[in-house]
């Protein structure tokens, strides 16, 4: 007798798959998890790549603001409940966005659907999510040990699946001339780009011939912080702004120094992109890099004590004065099994299949 596969519905919503959580959903959908049939919940105008997409939602955007997402999450929940009632078999609901999590919790409460809250961020009010999990008997799935601890969980006893990237086979050859510092992120306050730009002056005052490249500029700077970044850059030489490109890492050179000052940051996929290419890194403390074995935790990585420009500059100076190690990329590639689903498909399958009610 054939066993019917468990149906897993990734509840996301919205009109596109651009963004960190969306990239993770794409990674999950690309893998064949034993005993699990995956589908994706999106806005009714979204056109999926195959028939596994359920284009039935009403939320055009997700993770916009707390109030907006709460209201849209409730409406999305009603829509999701109506759709689930028409299905022959039940689903495990794995919710990724804030709108999707509210909708999934409503469905879990009213229809007793098993719910997984996949956490990609570090929210300020974790009690809200713990309450949502309590009323729907949901399980948590975390994107890093840091996110797990943020919610008061134990990484040793929790399910953690870190995002993955397409690990490169090679990187661009070593650059010539000035040492390049590179940062890639949205131009928003939490990325602390103004502090990074201000740190460049004391770095250059040490006699170091360096330049800074910031990737993430939009065609029409719409927020005040983005304009502040641009104004600070205009006052300095050797700073270049680049528009955001999803393949920004293709321009990284092996001897570049990647700087990331995002705070709070649950994971930081851009750090992994630069790490995988053997670049030296300047980061803050308490990132996923701290989970590596001792050697790879420190090799080619400098940690700034805080986002104060002088502290950031001190870490940048140390990185610039550390010789590039051409063997870093090969050494770091040995850690790739820690990321993504590929090497853990059976483990993840068992975790899903063990969720109460999922086979009923």
**Better-scored residue on pLDDT, 148 or 188:** 148
Asked if pLDDT for residue 92 goes beyond 50, the answer is: yes
Mean local confidence (pLDDT), 77-102:
95
Q: Is the pLDDT of residue 25 over 70?
A: yes
Q: Please give the Cα distance from 18 to 12 (Å, whole number).
A: 12
Give Cβ neighbours of residue 297 (< 8 Å, ≥ 6 apart): 289, 290, 291
pLDDT at 360: 41
Q: How does pLDDT run across 193-252, given as a tens digit for each residue? A: 999 999 999 999 999 999 999 998 876 656 788 888 888 888 788 999 999 888 899 999
CATH superfamily of 6-164+340-353: Glycogen Phosphorylase B; (3.40.50.2000)
Residue 282 has pLDDT above 80, yes or no: yes
Nearest to 12 by CA among 78, 87, 93: 93
Average pLDDT value for the chain? 91
Mean pLDDT, range 244-263, rounded to an integer: 92
Q: What is the dotted CATH code of the domain comprising 179-335?
A: 3.40.50.2000
Q: Mean pLDDT across the stretch 154-166?
A: 94
**Residue 5 scores a pLDDT above 80:** yes
Q: Is the pLDDT of residue 148 over 70?
A: yes
Indicate where the chain has its CATH 3.40.50.2000 domain(s): 6-164+340-353, 179-335
Mean pLDDT for the stretch of residues 13-33: 90
What is the Cα 24 distance to its own chain's centre? Answer: 8
Reported pTM: 0.88
């Amino acid at each position: 007798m054939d066993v019917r596969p468990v149906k897993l519905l990734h509840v996301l919503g919205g009109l596109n798959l651009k963004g960190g959580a969306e990239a993770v959903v794409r990674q999950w959908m690309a893998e064949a998890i034993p005993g699990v049939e995956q589908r994706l919940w999106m806005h009714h105008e979204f056109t999926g790549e195959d028939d596994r997409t359920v284009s039935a939602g009403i939320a055009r955007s997700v993770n916009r603001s707390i109030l907006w997402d709460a209201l849209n999450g409730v409406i999305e929940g009603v829509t999701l409940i109506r759709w689930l009632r028409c299905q022959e078999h039940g689903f495990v609901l794995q919710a990724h966005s804030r709108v999707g999590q509210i909708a999934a919790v409503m469905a879990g409460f009213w229809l007793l659907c098993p719910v997984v809250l996949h956490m990609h961020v570090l929210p300020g009010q974790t009690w809200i999510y713990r309450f949502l999990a309590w009323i729907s008997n949901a399980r948590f799935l975390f994107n890093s040990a840091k996110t797990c601890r943020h919610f008061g969980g134990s990484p040793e006893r929790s399910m953690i699946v870190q995002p993955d990237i397409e690990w490169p086979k090679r990187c661009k050859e070593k650059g010539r001339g000035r040492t390049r510092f590179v940062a890639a992120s949205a131009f928003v306050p939490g990325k602390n780009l103004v502090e990074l730009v201000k740190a460049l002056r004391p770095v250059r005052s040490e006699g170091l011939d360096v330049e800074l490249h910031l990737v993430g500029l939009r065609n029409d700077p719409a927020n005040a912080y983005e304009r502040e970044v641009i104004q600070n850059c205009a006052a300095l030489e050797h700073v270049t702004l680049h528009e955001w490109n999803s393949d920004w890492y293709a321009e990284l050179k092996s001897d570049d120094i990647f700087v990331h000052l995002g705070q709070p940051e649950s994971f930081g996929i851009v750090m992994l992109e630069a790490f995988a290419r053997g670049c030296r890194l300047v980061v803050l403390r308490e990132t996923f890099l701290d989970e590596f074995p001792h050697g790879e935790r420190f090799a080619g990585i400098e940690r700034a004590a805080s986002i104060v420009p002088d502290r950031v500059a001190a870490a940048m100076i140390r990185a610039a004065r550390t010789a590039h190690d051409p063997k870093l990329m090969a050494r770091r590639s040995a850690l790739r099994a820690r990321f993504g689903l590929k090497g853990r498909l059976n483990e993840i399958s068992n975790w899903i299949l063990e969720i109460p009610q999922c086979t009923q």
